[in-house]
A and B are shown apart, each in its own frame.
Chain A
Amino acid sequence: MTANHDRPHSDPLLEMEGVSVNFPVKRAYPFSKRRWIQAVTDVSLRISEGETFGIVGESGCGKSTLANAMIGMVRPTAGTVRFQGDELYALKPKAFKQARRNMQMIFQDPFSSLNPRFTVYDIIREPLYIRGGASEAEMKAKVLELLKLVGLDEEDMYRNPSDFSGGQRQRIGIARAIVLNPKFLVCDEPVSGLDVSVHAQIMNLLMEIQESRNLTYVFISHNLAVVKNVCQNVLVMYLGKVMESGTSDALFANPLHPYTKALLSAVLDVDVEASHDRILLKGDTPSPIDPPKGCRFWQRCPFAMVGCETIPAEMVDVENLHQVACHLVSGFSPEHVAAGLDQPVSSLPQTWAD
């Protein structure tokens, strides 16, 4: 791995503190109690400039909602998001727009994220056009430069997305995302809709672009092998909460949370000779409406203890920058056991910040 795994820089590019996002559920009856989907609960993180930050978890665990909250698409119910030191959701509309220009997103499905009626030129030009201040010739030159960068030809400029394969469409999506020279790029499962042989092409392209433009990536994936190879820091989420976080070296060398272990063992390898002692999880992810009260993972945890179902597990430091929320690691404190059920979820300790 290239980037240094030392302590992150003193001023992070993006910082989240105790971010929660809840979505209201439609009432079944007019006066019934309003219920909430707790998509993201109490997440704190720090992303420093130039790094690749991985978010891992199964579908429905809140990874995409968290990413949307990062780039100003979903206002968090609680907590703060700071981008380049400014609190993102407190900015005035004009400044907010300015900040948003520095953040872009690459979507999972290259078939539904490109307007089928636009030509490739229209698609890549659109952000420039909306920003304004560029002449037609300038925009054209810029689009051409980007097409070359992502490995497409000049002739492709006036074709429609339907003329391209999945991999090529994803290249168009990448070109569109970097046309405004953003600092921060969220890649939401950028390769999971593509063929295996194209995976590597797109991943290599993303890495090249990051190096040449000094971008900061948030890389969302459920493929741990990819995350391990590209990310410097990793966050493992389950049902809206952070289970474990740390540098990818520490986390993959020494996974502590049972969920991380299960995820790792569920990754099927192409190594036919290796033995497979898999931790098979029972059941499915529970609903994020009324999630389990204690540790969110306890119902599926093969090592669950009595207190796990009632007492929420808090993030504790295990080693430098490696944190885990599990009673197996932290143990139960006597006060916890005494206080029992209605112990409030206290916010995460601010250990990222030294």
Chain B
Amino acid sequence: MSDTVLEVRNLKVAFPAPGGVIRAVEGIDLTTQKGECVALVGESGCGKSVTALSIMKLLRTPPSVSRIDRLELDDRDLTHLTERDMERVRGKDMAMIFQDAMTALNPVMTVGKQIDEVYRRHTKLSRKEAREETVKALELVGVPEARSRADSFPHELSGGMRQRVLIALAFACMPKLIIADEPTTSLDVTIQAQVLDVLKSMQKDHGVSALLITHDLSVVANMADTVYVMYSGKIVERGAVLELFTDPRHPYTEGLLGSVPKLSDDKQAFVQIPDTVPHPMHKPDGCYFHPRCSYATDRCRQHMPRLETLDKGRQVRCWHPLR
């Protein structure tokens, strides 16, 4: 078939809660190509992390209730896999990089041992061979003195080093898909630049497809090829990064881009989107964005627009797309 690595069709996730249902994700379609970096952008509470977790099948039922029409990884149907089978897929065919390296790593186990574990579990390497691979993996992500660093515990490493270890861990078996959930949010700017560089070169050099989940548009601009903008559980816009950033069609995308302060502009006031994201239990009628949208009309207040496909894979969910 084609180069499609991940295909998600109509993913829905809800959380029953006292007093109603929280519809976290409301029917999302996602595809990633080989060697492509796809970004899923949105504010906190828009359902992007839940999307990532359900692709990894890491959400438990209860509390979540999810439905998915199709989940394919590299032409293999994962929709109905059992937990046991999923365990063989996670870490080998797809892996995840979490936001907070301090909580993602086991604090009482050396980092080397944690990476060894991936090899021991998914390949037939011996203990010694696994350690060799671990050292190689650590060297790949730019950990200096990898052999001795492998014997240190997570707390002995700096934030940037820990994030590198997480990247090494995710890339250990060269999976087909990497899901990175806010990989650099907790890091300093100079360290963020280092880590993103490592992540990008790892992903491009090995032709791995990546799903980058972030709220930081500047990270997206530097990393991604394709962008999905998510708002309140729905995709509101999709497009190639260059087109989407230079010519946003959805008012939300426009607002998000405008609210990022730039070094190049001299204005004192910041462009702001009024109000905040609706509570997931009390979403407004019609388009979810209409209470914050300056272009909203009566039609927007009553009916939810469909995700219309424009030219060149560009999709937008708006009654009045910007020109």
Point out residues on A near B: beta carbons under 8 Å. Answer: 1-2, 58-59, 165-168, 195-201, 203-204, 207, 222-226, 228-230, 252, 262-273, 276, 278, 280-281, 284-285
Indicate if B218 sits at the interface (CB-CB under 8 A). yes
Given known contacts A200-B272, A230-B268, A284-B158, A270 and B257 CB-to-CB distance under 8 angstroms: yes
Taking CB as reference atom, which chain B residue is nearest A199?
B259
Q: Which residue of B lies closest to A168 (CB)?
A: B276
Q: Let me know if B267 and A229 touch, CB within 8 A.
A: yes
Q: Choose from B161, B189, B259, B263 the contact partner of A284 (Cβ within 8 Å).
A: B161
Structural contact, B273 and A197, CB atoms closer than 8 A? yes
- Tell me whether B309 is interfacial, beta carbon within 8 Å: no
Residues of A within 8 A of B294 (CB): none
Q: Which of A196, A263, A272 contacts B189, CB < 8 Å?
A: A263
B268 touches A58 (CB 8 A): no
Report Cα–Cα, A223/B160, bound state, in Å: 18
Nearest chain A CB to B139 CB, angstrom units: 16
A269 touches B246 (CB 8 A): no
| Contact A226–B261 (Cβ < 8 Å) | yes
A to B CB contacts below 8 Å, 8 in the list: A198-B276, A225-B263, A263-B190, A267-B189, A267-B218, A267-B263, A268-B216, A270-B262
B192→A269 contact, CB < 8 A: no
B245–A270 touching, CB < 8 Å: yes
B221 near A269 with CB under 8 A, answer: yes
Say whether A196 contacts B216, CB under 8 Å. Answer: yes
- For the complex formed, measure the closest distance between the CB of A225 and the CB atoms of chain B, giving whole angstroms: 4
Report yes or no: B188 in contact with A229, Cβ–Cβ below 8 A.
no
Complexed CA–CA distance, A167 and B196 (Å): 28
A272 touches B190 (CB 8 A): no
A46, B261: Cα distance in complex, Å = 27
Interface residues of B in 285-302 (CB under 8 A from A): none
Q: Which of B189, B221, B255, B273 contacts A270 (CB 8 A)?
A: B221
A222 touches B242 (CB 8 A): no
- B188-246 residues with Cβ-Cβ distance < 8 A to A are 188-194, 196-197, 215-219, 221-222, 241-242, 245-246
Q: Is the CB of A195 within 8 A of B242?
A: no
A272 touches B188 (CB 8 A): no
| Residue of A1, A196, A225, A266 with highest tally of chain B CB at under 10 A | A196
With contacts A263-B190, A280-B193 taken as known, whether A196 is within 8 angstroms of B215 at the C-beta atoms is yes
- Measured in the bound complex, the distance between the Cα atoms of B273 and A268 in whole Å is 21
B255–A197 contact, CB under 8 A? yes
Closest residue of chain B to A194 (Cβ to Cβ) is B44
Q: A200-B271, A284-B191 are in contact. List 13 more A-B contacts (CB 8 A).
A: A165-B276, A168-B276, A195-B277, A196-B256, A199-B270, A207-B269, A229-B266, A264-B263, A267-B189, A268-B192, A268-B221, A280-B194, A285-B188
Q: Is B274 an interface residue (CB 8 A)?
A: yes
How far apart are the CA atoms of A198 and B277 in the complex, in Å? 10
Q: How many residues of B contact A (CB 8 A)?
A: 48
Write the chain B residue with the least CB distance to A201. B272
Query: B274's contact among A196, A201, A225, A272, by CB below 8 Å, is which?
Result: A201
Inter-subunit contact B270/A200 (CB<8 Å): yes
Bound Cα distance from A161 to B29, whole angstroms: 36
Which residues in B have some Cβ–Cβ distance to A below 8 Å?
A: 43-44, 158-161, 188-194, 196-197, 215-219, 221-222, 241-242, 245-246, 255-274, 276-277
Chain B residues, Cβ within 8 Å of A226 = 261
- With A198-B276, A269-B221, A272-B221 as known contacts, state yes or no: A229 contacts B193, CB within 8 Å: no
**Assembled-state Cα–Cα distance A265/B192 (Å):** 12
Query: In chain A, what residue has the closest Cβ to B259?
Result: A200
B270-A1 in contact (CB<8A): no
In the bound assembly, the distance between CA atoms of A203 and B259 in angstroms comes to 10
Q: Bound complex: CA of A2 vs CA of B189, how far in Å?
A: 28
The interface residues of chain A lying within 8 Å CB-to-CB of B242 are: 272-273
Shortest B283–chain A CB gap in Å is 15
Q: Is the CB of A59 within 8 A of B188?
A: yes
Residues of chain B within 8 A of A196, CB atoms compared: 43, 215-217, 256, 259-260
Chain A residues with Cβ under 8 A from B219's Cβ? 268
Chain A residues closer than 8 Å to B267, beta-carbon distance: 229
Chain A residues whose CB sits within 8 angstroms of the CB of B266 once the complex forms? 1, 229
Closest 5 CB pairs of A and B: A200-B270, A200-B272, A268-B218, A225-B261, A58-B188
Q: Check B274–A204 contact: CB distance below 8 A.
A: no
Chain A minimum-CB-distance residue to B218: A268
Which residues does chain B contribute within 8 Å of A207, judged by CB atoms? 268-269
Of the candidates A1, A58, A268, A284, the one having the most CB atoms from chain B within 10 angstroms of its own CB is A268
Partner of A278 from the list B193, B257, B268, B269 (CB cut-off 8 Å) is B193
CA distance A263 to B215 in the complex (A): 21
Measured between beta carbons, the chain A residues less than 8 angstroms from B196 are 268
User: Which of B43, B261, B273, B277 makes the CB contact (< 8 A) with A229?
Assistant: B261
- How long is the Cα–Cα vector from A195 to B185 in the complex, in angstroms? 12
Residues of B within 8 A of A165 (CB): 276-277
Q: Report the Cα distance A204→B259, complex, angstroms.
A: 11
Contact A197 B222 (CB under 8 A): no
Choose from A223, A262, A271 the contact partner of B190 (Cβ within 8 Å): A262
Report the minimal beta-carbon distance from A346 to chain B, rounded to whole angstroms. 29
Shortest CB–CB separation between residue B224 and chain A, in angstroms?
10
Could you tell me if A252 and B263 are in contact, using CB atoms closer than 8 angstroms? yes
Q: Is the CB of A271 within 8 A of B264?
A: yes
A204 touches B245 (CB 8 A): no
Are the C-beta atoms of A266 and B272 separated by less than 8 Å? no
Q: How far is the CB of B223 from chain A (nearest CB, A)?
A: 9
Given contacts A201-B274, A225-B262, A228-B263, contact A266 B190 (CB under 8 A): yes
Chain A contacts of B192 at CB under 8 A? Answer: 266, 268
A268, B256: Cβ atoms under 8 Å? no
B161 (CB) vs chain A CBs: closest residue: A284
Residues of B within 8 A of A200 (CB): 258-259, 270-273
Q: Smallest CB-CB separation from B261: which chain A residue?
A: A225
Tell me the nearest residue of chain A to B267, going by C-beta. A229
Q: Is the CB of A269 within 8 A of B241?
A: no
Q: State the CA gap A199–B216 with chains docked (Å).
A: 12
